[in-house]
Amino acid sequence: MNNFPYILTISSEKGGVGKTTLATNLAIYLKAMQPDLPVTVISFDNHFTIDKMFELKGQQRTGTVRDLLNGTPGRELILQGQYGVQYIPSSDQLTELYQEFKGPMALCRMIAESGLSGIVLVDTRPDLNILTQNALYAADRVLIPVKDMPSLENCKHIFALFDQRGIDKRSLALIPCLIDNRIKYDGIFKDQRTLLKAFAINRGYRCLETYISKSPKVESLNTNPDGKVYPILTHARETDVHGQFTELARDLLTSYQTTAEPRAYLYHRWLQEEESRKKEAFLARLEGIPAHCVICGRALDGPTGKGFFYESADRNSRGFLHSDCFVGALCSTLYHQPAVGPASEASLQMARENARESVAVFVPLQEEDGQYRLRCIQFDRRCSPLLERTIPLAGFREGQFNGINDQLYLLLNESLAGYDGGLRNSWLAVHPVDEARPEQVLQEPSYRHLQEYHQRVAQQLEPRAA
Ligand SMILES: Nc1ncnc2c1ncn2[C@@H]1O[C@H](COP(=O)(O)OP(=O)(O)O)[C@@H](O)[C@H]1O
Ligand SMILES: [Mg+2]
C-alpha cells in the first residue's frame, strides 16, 4: 500500500483564513515529528508561497502542478525541498485546464498513479472550481479553516457538494483559525472559538477541538526584507500557535496511521475491478461469435477481412461479415443490382462507400398471410435516416431463394431466426468496423456507443411499430 498516499486537502471559499499557512506549516511539523515519512505539498493557487518556502537554491525543476494535472506522474515532478518536505512547483497557468477537467475524480486517479507515498497536502484556491472539487474528492481528510461567521456560512457549499455526489462527509472537519484570544463575550459563548464551534455543531458540521490562535509573530513570518516565508516551527516556537500545530500534526499522524486504505488506493482498486469487469464482458461478447461469415459460409480469417459487424437488437446474435459479402447483399437489396458482372462494378463501389459511412438496419415485418417484408434503412453516424426501402421477402418463409436477395436471406436466417421457423420480433443492425482491428467494436467504450446508437435507432423505429 506504500504507493498510495494519504491526502489532506485544505479548502475554504474564503481567502485569508489561513489555508496556505496550515498546508505549508503542517507539512513541516509532520516531517519533523516523523522524519522517515514522505511529506509532499502542492498548491492549486498561484501565489508561489510553497515555492518561496521550500525551494532550495539552484534546484532543477522538471515541471509544475500543471504537468501533474496534464498527466505527468507525480514522482517525476517532486523536488526535495527545505525542512525535508517535498513539493511540486506551483503554476499560475491552471485556469485554462479547468474545462479539461470534466469529472471530479481525475486528481484521485492521477495521485493513485503518481507513485507518491506518505502524506500529500493540497492547498487550494479560495473557490470551489473544478480543481478544488477534485482535491476535495481525493482527500482522506479535508480541513476547512473558519475564522468568522462569513467563512462559516461558506462551508455549506462544500458540504452540499459532498451531498450531491453521495460522498461520505466524515472526512470534512472545520478548524477555527486566526482566533483572537483577547476577544471575550458575556454569556455562554465566552470567546470567538466557542462561538464558532457552537454554530458549526448547530449546522451539523464536525469541528476540531484544536484551533489556531491569531498571532502577530506568525503574521510577521510572511513579511521580511529577504522575501522569504519562515516556518512557525523554527521562527515562532514561543507562540501558542506552535503548540496548536504540534497538536494538529499529531492528530493527523494518528489518522494517517489508522487509515489502512486511503482513498487513492480504494479508487485504484475500483478502477482495476472496472477494468477486469470490462475484460470479462468483452470475452463474453466474443464467445459464441461464428468463425465464419454467415453470408458466404467461409472462414472469417481469410484474405477478405471482417469489415462489418452485425448484432440483433435483442443481442441474441452477433458476428462479423466479409466486406465483400455484405456490400454485395446491400447492393442487390437496396439498389436492385446483382452483385456480379462488370456492369455492376460502379454500383458496387457506390454501395461499398455508402456502407462504410452508414449503419444498415433491417426490420422484418410479418404480413397477415405469414409472408415477410423487410424494412431496410441506412442511418448516418448521427442516426439520421439516409435511405429507406421496404422490400418483399418473397419465398423467404418457405426457404426459397429468389436470386436477388439470397445473401440477405442467409444473413436474416442466421441472425434473426426464431424457434418456430419464423423470425424473432427483433431487428438487425450492421455496422462498418475497422478491418485492421474488428474486435475493437466489442471493447469499451465502442460497444457502449454501439448500444447507445441502437437505443436511438429503436426510438426512431417506434412510431411505426405503434
Ligand atoms: N495564526 C496566524 N496568526 C496571524 N496571522 C496569520 C495566522 N495564520 C495566517 N496568518 C496570516 O493571515 C494571512 C492569510 O493567511 P493564508 O494562510 O495566506 O490564508 P489563505 O491561504 O486562506 O488565503 C497571511 O498574511 C498570514 O500570514
Ligand atoms: Mg492561500
Instruction: State how far the Cα of 440 lies from the Cα of 444, in Å rounded to an integer.
Output: 8
User: Which residue bears the cell 481525493?
Assistant: 138
pLDDT tens digits for range 175-230: 999 999 888 888 888 888 998 999 999 988 999 999 999 999 999 998 888 888 99
Q: Which atom of ligand 1 is nearest to the CA of 213?
A: 1
User: Taking 50 as the threshold, does the pLDDT of residue 1 lie above it?
Assistant: no
pLDDT digits (tens, 9 = 90+) for 317-370: 999 999 999 998 888 877 776 656 665 788 888 889 999 999 999 999 988 888
Q: pLDDT band at residue 447, thresholds of 50, 70 and 90?
A: very high
CA–CA gap between residue 62 and residue 76 (Å, rounded): 7
254 CA to middle of ligand 2, Å? 26
pLDDT tens readout for residues 270-303:
988 988 888 888 988 988 889 899 999 888 876 6
Name the pairing type of β-strands 428-432 and 359-366: antiparallel
234: helix, strand or coil: helix
Question: pLDDT at residue 259 above 90?
Answer: yes
Q: Which residues pair with 366 in a beta bridge?
A: 372
Which of 21, 124, 155, 175 most suits a substitution to test ligand 1, by most atoms within 8 Å of the C-beta?
A: 21
- CA 148 / ligand 1 centre spacing (Å): 14
Ligand 1 close to Cβ of residue 5 (< 6 A): no
Of the candidates 286, 316, 284, 282, the residue with the CA atom closest to the CA atom of residue 300: 286
Per-residue pLDDT averaged across 446-450, rounded? 95
Mean pLDDT of 429-453: 94
Q: Which residues contact 419 (CB under 8 A, 6 or more apart)?
A: none
For residue 398, the model assigns a pLDDT of 78
List strands edge to edge, sheet with 372-379.
Answer: 318-322, 306-312, 428-432, 359-366, 372-379, 385-392
Could you check whether the bond before residue 225 is cis, i.e. omega within 30 degrees of 0?
no
Buried-state track 443-460, b at ≥16 Cβ within 10 A, e below 16? beebbeebeebbeebeee
Domain limits, CATH 3.40.50.300, in the chain: 6-273
**Which ligand is nearest the CA of 46, by number?**
2
Does residue 231's CB lie within 6 angstroms of at least one atom of ligand 1?
Answer: no
Q: Find out whether 129 and 98 touch, Cβ atoms under 8 Å.
A: yes
pLDDT at 27: 98
Q: How confident is the model at residue 466 (pLDDT cuts 50, 70, 90)?
A: very low
Mean pLDDT, residues 158-170 taken together: 88
Ligand 1 pocket, residue 318 CB under 6 Å: no
| Residue 93: exposure state from Cβ atoms within 10 A (0-12, 13-18, ≥19) | exposed
Can you tell me which atom of ligand 1 is nearest the CA of 15? 23
Instruction: For residue 205, give the nearest of 12, 16, 8 by alpha carbon.
Output: 12
**CA-to-CA distance for 198 and 165, rounded, in angstroms?**
27
Neighbour tally for 46: CB within 10 Å: 12
Task: Give the architecture-level CATH label for domain 6-273.
Answer: 3-Layer(aba) Sandwich (3.40)
pTM listed for this prediction: 0.72
Number of other residues whose CB lies within 10 A of the CB of residue 201: 12
In which residue are the cell numbers 489556531 written?
212
